[in-house]
Amino acid sequence: MSLDLNDPRLTAYALNELDPREREEMEKQIANDPAAQELVNDLCDTAAFLQLELGAEPSPELDATQKEAIRNGHVEVECEGLSVGRLGESPRRDTVPPYSARAESSESDAPVYADKDKIIPFPFVKYIAWACSAAAVVALFAGLSLPAMSGAMSKAKQLQLAQQRRDAESGYIAGSPQVAITTPSETKEDLRYAKRAQLEEMPPPPSPTELSASKSKTEVFMADASSVTSLNAPSPNAPSIPIPEVAAATAATPAQSNVRTESRLMASMDKRAPARGRIENRSMAFPLDPVRPSSPGNESYSAITENEFLTALDNPLSTFSIDVDTASYANVRRFIEQGQRPPADAVRIEEMVNYFPYNYAQPEGSDPFAANVEIADCPWDREHRLVRVGLKGREIAQNHRPASNLVFLIDVSGSMNEPAKLPLVKASLQLLVNKLTARDRIAIVVYAGSSGLVLRSTSITSANKAAVLETLDRLEAGGSTNGGEGIQLAYSVARENFIKGGTNRVILCTDGDFNVGVTSQGALVDLIKQEAKSGVFLSVFGFGSGNLKDSTMMNLADKGNGNYAYIDSLKEGRKVFVEQMSGTLVTIAKDVKIQIEFNPAKVGAYRLIGYEKRMLAKEDFNNDKKDAGEIGAGHTVTALYEVVPAGQPVKPAVDALKYQANPPVRSDVDERRSPSSDLLTLKIRYKQPDGATSKKLEFPIRDQGAKWESASGDFKFAASVAAFGMILRESQLRGDADYGLVLKLAREGKGEDEEGYRSEFIRLVKTAAEMGR
Amino acid sequence: MGTQDTGQGMSAPDSDWIHAMLERYEKPLVRYAAQLLDGDIDLARDAVQDTFLRLCREERTEVESRIAAWLYTVCRNRVFDMKRKESRVIALAEGESFERASTDPTPAHAAERRDNLSHINAALSLLPDNQREVVRLKFQSGLSYKEISDVTKLSVTNVGFLLHTALKTLRTQLKTELGLVPATADGATTHRRTL
């Protein structure tokens, strides 16, 4: 039984417009129907894309006089009410509380709207209302009898008065923030979320291993229960309007009554940003930096010193940790697309090479990954050889993926308020949520000036899915950053919902302004390491530009046994969270280290291209205490060595030693040193994701003397990316590599390129080449 | 709805509410009206001003529970009135007029974003009017099926049908931008090579 792809319920399903019963039924049908499944996935993606892009389309606004006209309509109405009040010889309505009083009230946990009764003392209002009620009722009838347009204003006034009276009678409050700001259809939901967030159980007492700072964390969290709710409050599609603009617009209104205008402005500001106001006030209690302005000059990268050639006699062992991060490529792409040359230290060649999936052979035995080695001429120096070491992690089919317990830790600080940041975070995570099933759990923690749980850990059943998506949709940016608090809360939520044998992971989404607040960076790293040991891993996703703290983020993910990726578009979000979801979520081996022993009989010198930040001492290889990189399901890891064959001059040449015997050079290579004709031996150590002791694999490799022309497409492409990286880094070791070579290799190695990543690379190289001219 | 009998407060002057609604809906409404008016921002502004002036005259309790649908309906009717009465619809080039009216700071990704947007707009322009409108109401204004049905006077079923048809078309036309490819099931490798 297969679904008709023209069935509009497929779209309704993708857009969460079905009621729970229909939804469940649909889910069952779709599960057995790959064509429908594919269509629904595409529809979800298309919808997310449209929502993101159309939502960010610039919108014109009314001009000042028009806004004024609308506002004036109201001021008149109110003045009418006022004058009636004055007739009644009551106190004037200008009892605006002093600013400090207002600030205090917005700090308190009382609803922000409560300070209305400070602007208009309650008994007085009641009095006005009663005093004018009779007149209002008469006027109301008169108004109704007039033609709709002509009597407009007076009718408005009358209705207004009538309304005031009714409201006064019922003691009606103008509306809690949820009621006022959200569209009505969501109001019920809002209240439900609000309740839920308020009723949220506190995290259990921290484990003894946790830092002492956790006590203050719990207190902050409790005190903030209500501001967590208010983060939820603004409705999903409302772009929040920056304060300065509103202030200016209101200032343009002629001062009918100065006091009134001011009080209205204050009231509307309080209401518009209850969460922001609070968070900022609260954050004063912490030694925080103010929200940093976002400028390209504020990004930080740690320096990279390129690996040099080492002689095989002096340094036969080359040891490094694998790395599946891909952030550098996406970041480099962003720079180039903006017409800028990336800073050399932002170019990490291994991350660029590893951005692309390669079709390496799958493991066959019980090991979680397979090693593939290929050797050919080095394209940028034909005298040298290029060695490619490729690891391929075992694929895990979607339905065999272990259950996931994910905690999204989302930066909602002011700097995230850009189209390529928070809206992109939401859209990307929604793609991920759409892929999850009832076995999986999600919680959402946000952090800004303070942190809070927005969604407690919820299993992604079909009934819950819509609510989770909506909660994500509702997040809004505002406030300054305090990452330390949020991460502790996120870990405690992850620990509470720990799934044994499953994926337990905190997913941090930030633009990198990761202000550690009360905790020092060192303590934070300790916390992350500790948690990684207990089985909760951390993945870091960087968004946006201008503020990227690349090195911090890479460091955190590294210590947390997780990966670090940079997401600059929905397409990238799709790659990380949908296409490579298993790799992102499921770690199949940890602390994966590679050690290569070069045979000096065959190898004069070698250099590892990239991986500068991942180098290990040779002793570290057998030291299980030494942390290294993780590999996810289906991940490929590629490392390239440029090898100078024995007998060839090594550039740059080193002067002969004066005080000891010089190693044999050039033609006098001592064949007797090793009877082996191996070029090298590849050794790999890894641990099972929950294991403590490592296992070693060993592969002797011989050079068959292959020519570059016969190299595989994957090899050519990887070499192309590495050459591109060397050019961007202005490496002294790039040999003959130029843009022409990069393009030639990339074109030859492009292959089927189902996902289009390689074609995109080719376009990027062309852009860079044009910039270089 | 929304009524809480706390006995200590009363209705704030509705101007606060009007302001909140203005802040929330002003820009999306102008954008929506402009689209219906082939990009004429000035006419669109007039329509939206009229809409809010009408809101001032409504009883809040009457419209509050369906405010989005109410505003879009009124605005839409106003636009169609205008179109009928004033046959002089001077169409500005859409891109140009929107550019001018934009107050958003140019983010780093403006170029790519504009690129995506212009592709979307190109694809949208190929859709029949009714499909284009429901797509905008759904994805740009965030209305639900029910709200769209209220605004356009189409049945909910019809809205669902239009959206489904439109999304399927857009999915094909925006393939490149979306990065959509023939699905490789998570994990399935097609091509294997041994060394």
Smallest CA-to-CA distance from A583 within A410, A358, A394 is with: A394
Query: Could you tell me if B95 and B131 lie in one domain?
Result: no
Backbone angles phi, psi at B89, to 5 degrees: -100, 105
- Give, in order, the Cα–Cα distances in Å from B65 to each of A158, A189, B71, B74: 21, 13, 12, 15
Ranges of each domain in chain A: 64-175+242-283, 310-393+587-706, 403-581
Residue A696 has pLDDT above 70, yes or no: yes
Residue B37 lies in a domain: yes
CA atoms in the 13 A half-sphere facing the CB of A564 = 27
Q: Kindly provide the b/e burial profile for residues A242-266, where b requires at least 16 CB atoms within 10 angstroms of the residue's own CB.
A: eeeebeebbeebeeebeebbebbbb
When pLDDT is averaged across residues A707-712 and rounded to a whole number, the result is 90
**What percentage of chain A reaches a pLDDT higher than 70?**
65
Residue A472: which residues within 8 A CB-CB, separation 6 or more?
Answer: A408, A426, A429, A430, A433, A444
Q: What is the pLDDT of residue B4?
A: 43
Which of 3.30.70.920, 3.40.50.720, 3.40.50.300, 3.40.50.410 is the CATH number of A403-581?
A: 3.40.50.410
- Does the distance separating the beta carbons of B195 and A373 come in below 8 Å? yes
Does the beta carbon of A362 lie under 8 angstroms from any beta carbon of chain B? yes
C-alpha to C-alpha distance for A165 and A163, rounded to whole angstroms: 5
- Does the distance separating the beta carbons of A15 and B23 come in below 8 Å? no
Nearest CA in chain B to A61: B27
In the block, tokens 């309505």 appear at A93
In the block, tokens 């704030």 appear at B12
Q: Which residues of A touch B56 (CB under 8 A)?
A: 70, 73-74, 77, 156
Tens-digit pLDDT profile for residues A284-293: 222 222 333 3
Angle at A58 between CA A49 and CA B45, to 5 degrees: 130
**Superfamily designation of domain A310-393+587-706:** Gamma-adaptin ear (GAE) domain (2.60.40.1230)
Q: How confident is the model at residue B110 (pLDDT cuts 50, 70, 90)?
A: low
Give the closest-approach CA distance of B76 to chain A in angstroms. Answer: 16
- Does the distance separating the beta carbons of A246 and B20 come in below 8 Å? no
CA atoms in the 13 A half-sphere facing the CB of A330 = 23
Q: Which residues of B touch A296 (CB under 8 A)?
A: 108
Q: What is the CATH number of the domain that holds B140?
A: 1.10.10.10
Q: What is the pLDDT of residue A380?
A: 94
Q: Per-residue DSSP letters for A224-285? A: THHHHHHHH-S-TT-PPPPHHHHHHHHHTS--SSHHHHHHHHHHHHHHH-HHHHHHHHHHTT
C-alpha to C-alpha distance for A400 and A449, rounded to whole angstroms: 40
Neighbours of A181 (CB within 10 A): 24
Tens-digit pLDDT profile for residues B162-180: 999 999 989 888 877 776 5
- Give, in order, the Cα–Cα distances in Å from A451 to each of A188, A192, A225, A241, A513: 25, 20, 10, 23, 15
Q: What is the pLDDT of residue B37?
A: 83
Residue of A6, A66, A375 for testing the chain B interface, max B β-carbons within 10 Å: A66
Among A9-23, A93-107, A201-215, the range of highest mean pLDDT: A9-23
Query: Could you tell me if B18 and B44 lie in one domain?
Result: yes
Q: What is the pLDDT of residue B174?
A: 83
Residue A113 has pLDDT above 50, yes or no: no
Q: For residues A246 and A28, which has the higher predicted lDDT (pLDDT)?
A: A28
DSSP A534: T
Q: For residues A488 and A715, which has the higher predicted lDDT (pLDDT)?
A: A715
- Domain residues for the domain of B163 are 115-179
**What percentage of chain B reaches a pLDDT higher than 70?**
69
Residue of B23, B45, B58, B102 for testing the chain A interface, max A β-carbons within 10 Å: B23
C-alpha to C-alpha distance for A334 and A764, rounded to whole angstroms: 10
Q: Is the dihedral of CA A135, A138, A140, A146 positive or negative?
A: negative
Query: Could you tell me if B167 and B125 lie in one domain?
Result: yes
Q: Are the CB atoms for A444 and A454 separated by under 8 Å?
A: yes
Q: Which residues of B touch A755 (CB under 8 A)?
A: 179, 181, 184
Give the closest-approach CA distance of A236 to chain B in angstroms. Answer: 8
Does the beta carbon of A764 lie under 8 angstroms from any beta carbon of chain B? no
DSSP B39: T
C-alpha to C-alpha distance for A341 and A185, rounded to whole angstroms: 48
Neighbours of B53 (CB within 10 A): 17
Query: Could you tell me if B93 and B31 lie in one domain?
Result: yes
Q: What is chain A's mean pLDDT, rounded?
A: 71
Nearest CA in chain B to A757: B179
Q: For residues A80 and A533, which has the higher predicted lDDT (pLDDT)?
A: A533
Q: What is the pLDDT of residue A407?
A: 93
Counting every residue written for chain A, the total comes to 773
Residue A239 has pLDDT above 50, yes or no: no
Residue B5 lies in a domain: no
Q: Are the CB atoms for B176 and A382 separated by under 8 Å?
A: no
Interface of A with B in 365-384 (CB under 8 A): 372-374
In the block, tokens 């022309």 appear at A709
What's the distance, Cα to Cα, between the start and end of chain A in Å? Answer: 60
Query: Could you tell me if B122 and B164 lie in one domain?
Result: yes
Lowest mean per-residue pLDDT among A314-323, A377-386, B76-85: B76-85
Give the closest-approach CA distance of A591 to chain B in angstroms. Answer: 23
Q: Is the dihedral of CA A464, A469, A472, A474 positive or negative?
A: negative
CA atoms in the 13 A half-sphere facing the CB of B118 = 11
Q: Which residues of B touch A163 (CB under 8 A)?
A: 11, 14, 59-61
Residue A597 has pLDDT above 50, yes or no: yes
Query: Could you tell me if B131 and B168 lie in one domain?
Result: yes
Residue B2 lies in a domain: no
Query: Could you tell me if B21 and B98 lie in one domain?
Result: yes
- Does the distance separating the beta carbons of A38 and B193 come in below 8 Å? no
Residue A240 has pLDDT above 50, yes or no: no
Does the beta carbon of A705 lie under 8 angstroms from any beta carbon of chain B? no
Q: How confident is the model at residue A168 (pLDDT cuts 50, 70, 90)?
A: very low
- Does the distance separating the beta carbons of B112 and A114 come in below 8 Å? no
Lowest mean per-residue pLDDT among A300-304, A515-519, A644-648, B122-126: A515-519
Query: Could you tell me if B85 and B138 lie in one domain?
Result: no
Residue A95 has pLDDT above 50, yes or no: no
Q: Are the CB atoms for A714 and A751 separated by under 8 Å?
A: yes
Tens-digit pLDDT profile for residues A624-637: 888 888 888 888 99
- Give, in order, the Cα–Cα distances in Å from B12 to each of A126, A171, A186, A650, B83: 12, 11, 22, 83, 37
Nearest CA in chain B to A398: B186
Q: Pairing state of beta strands A537-543 and A564-567?
A: parallel
Q: Are the CB atoms for A307 and A608 separated by under 8 Å?
A: yes
- Give, in order, the Cα–Cα distances in Å from A665 to each of A471, A655, A672, A702, B59: 67, 12, 14, 22, 94
What the block records as the tokens of B36 is 């219906």
Query: Could you tell me if B68 and B134 lie in one domain?
Result: no
Secondary structure (3-state) at A442: strand
Lowest mean per-residue pLDDT among A76-80, A183-187, A522-526, B142-146: A183-187
Residue A618 has pLDDT above 80, yes or no: yes
Interface of A with B in 410-469 (CB under 8 A): 418-420
Lowest mean per-residue pLDDT among A221-235, A376-390, B83-97: A221-235
Residue A531 has pLDDT above 50, yes or no: yes
When pLDDT is averaged across residues A502-528 and rounded to a whole number, the result is 75
Q: Per-residue DSSP letters for A344-400? A: GGG--HHHHHHTS---PPPP-SSSSEEEEEEEEEETTEEEEEEEEEEEEEPP--GGG
Neighbours of A235 (CB within 10 A): 22
Question: Would you give the distance in Å from CA B141 to the centre of its chain?
Answer: 3
Q: What is the pLDDT of residue A298?
A: 66
Run of H or E residues at A630: strand A629-632
Lowest mean per-residue pLDDT among A270-284, A680-694, A755-769: A270-284
Residue of B36, B40, B54, B56 for testing the chain A interface, max A β-carbons within 10 Å: B56
- Does the distance separating the beta carbons of B22 and A60 come in below 8 Å? no
Give the closest-approach CA distance of A390 to chain B in angstroms. Answer: 11
C-alpha to C-alpha distance for A747 and A358, rounded to whole angstroms: 15
C-alpha to C-alpha distance for A445 and A457, rounded to whole angstroms: 10
C-alpha to C-alpha distance for A277 and A405, rounded to whole angstroms: 33
Nearest CA in chain A to B60: A163
What's the distance, Cα to Cα, between the start and end of chain B in Å? Answer: 70
When pLDDT is averaged across residues A340-347 and rounded to a whole number, the result is 90
Query: Could you tell me if B91 and B119 lie in one domain?
Result: no
Tens-digit pLDDT profile for residues A710-755: 999 999 999 999 999 999 999 988 889 999 999 999 999 998 887 7
Q: How confident is the model at residue A455 (pLDDT cuts 50, 70, 90)?
A: confident
Angle at A238 between CA A234 and CA A241, to 5 degrees: 90
Residue B137 lies in a domain: yes
**What percentage of chain A reaches a pLDDT higher than 90?**
20
Residue A661 has pLDDT above 70, yes or no: yes
Residue A353 has pLDDT above 90, yes or no: yes
When pLDDT is averaged across residues A469-491 and rounded to a whole number, the result is 77
Q: For residues B52 and A476, which has the higher predicted lDDT (pLDDT)?
A: B52
- Does the distance separating the beta carbons of B108 and A264 come in below 8 Å? no
Q: What is the pLDDT of residue A183?
A: 34
- Does the distance separating the beta carbons of A54 and B140 come in below 8 Å? yes
Angle at B46 between CA B40 and CA B49, to 5 degrees: 135
Q: What is the pLDDT of residue A773?
A: 63
Instruction: Quote the number of domains for chain B.
Output: 2
Task: Write the residue in A43, A113, A239 that is nearest to B27 by C-beta.
Answer: A239
Interface of A with B in 32-51 (CB under 8 A): 38-39, 41-43, 45-47, 49-51
Neighbours of A137 (CB within 10 A): 13
CB pairs under 8 A between A and B: 349
Residue B133 lies in a domain: yes
Does the beta carbon of A574 lie under 8 angstroms from any beta carbon of chain B? yes
Q: Are the CB atoms for A598 and A316 separated by under 8 Å?
A: yes
Q: Which residues of A touch B190 (CB under 8 A)?
A: 359, 752, 754
Angle at A35 between CA A426 and CA B174, to 5 degrees: 50
Cross-strand partners of A718? none
C-alpha to C-alpha distance for A141 and A155, rounded to whole angstroms: 9
Neighbours of A148 (CB within 10 A): 11
Q: For residues A54 and A550, which has the higher predicted lDDT (pLDDT)?
A: A54
Residue B173 lies in a domain: yes
Q: For residues A649 and B104, which has the higher predicted lDDT (pLDDT)?
A: A649
Nearest CA in chain B to A546: B108
- Does the distance separating the beta carbons of B160 and A17 come in below 8 Å? yes
Give the closest-approach CA distance of B64 to chain A in angstroms. Answer: 7
Task: Write the residue in B8, B41, B161 that is nearest to A60 by C-beta.
Answer: B41
Q: What is the pLDDT of residue A391?
A: 92
Q: What is the pLDDT of residue A16?
A: 83
Q: Which residues of A touch B189 (CB under 8 A)?
A: 359, 362, 395, 634
Domain final residue, candidates B79, B102, B125:
B102
Secondary structure (3-state) at A88: coil
What the block records as the tokens of A140 is 């109301």
Q: Which residues of B touch A5 (CB under 8 A)?
A: 168
Question: Would you give the distance in Å from CA A684 to the centre of its chain?
Answer: 32
Neighbours of A344 (CB within 10 A): 14
Nearest CA in chain A to B12: A174
Question: Would you give the distance in Å from CA A631 to the centre of its chain?
Answer: 20
Query: Could you tell me if B84 and B134 lie in one domain?
Result: no
Q: What is the pLDDT of residue A640?
A: 96
Q: Are the CB atoms for A412 and A513 separated by under 8 Å?
A: no
Residue A179 has pLDDT above 90, yes or no: no
Does the beta carbon of A237 lie under 8 angstroms from any beta carbon of chain B? yes
Does the beta carbon of A53 lie under 8 angstroms from any beta carbon of chain B? yes
**What percentage of chain B reaches a pLDDT higher than 90?**
7
